[in-house]
Amino acid sequence: MGRDIHAFAEVKNGSKWNKVGDHFTLDDFDKNELGKEKGDTLFGWRHSLMFNILARTPRGLPKDISEELKEIYDTFPVNTHWESYLTLRELTKIKNKELNELFYIHIEELKQLGEDTRVVFWFDN
């Protein structure tokens, strides 16, 4: 059984985190379904390797999660699990030839946002 990865970026502005909007390249399926090139989610595919990498850091949702992202999370059913987050610095250390090209495109797009960037994520079945 696969797990859906739900991942969103936040950028720190002063002492407050803000959810990033449509900044990230979509895969071909989502481009066709949504009719646009960019979206607000990252790593949004069922990929067992990506799951294994992200699920290693079960920190829970950040205490200072942006209000907008908390509202999105609250709309998900109760079967979400392994909520966590990684900073841009932590994400740039991930190197694996088996990850698809879109992962590395997303990393470059995250770098454009600045150093105070993190990705908040969770999974569902």
Contact 123, 80 (CB under 8 A): yes
Model pLDDT, residue 46: 67
Across the 125 residues of the chain, what is the mean pLDDT of every consecutive 10-residue run? 82 97 93 94 77 85 97 86 93 87 93 97 85
Look at residue 2 in the predicted model and tell me its pLDDT: 61
Per-residue pLDDT at 43: 81
Q: DSSP secondary-structure letter at 121?
A: E
Joined together, the tokens standing for residue 39 give 């979206």
**CA 109/CA 47 separation, integer angstroms:** 20
CB-based contact 103:50 (threshold 8 Å): yes
What pLDDT sits at residue 52? 82
Indicate the pTM of the whole model. Answer: 0.91
**pLDDT value, residue 76:** 85
DSSP H or E run through 109: helix 101-111
Say how far apart CA 103 and CA 88 lie, in whole Å.
13
Asked if 73 contacts 60 with a C-beta cutoff of 8 angstroms, the reply is no
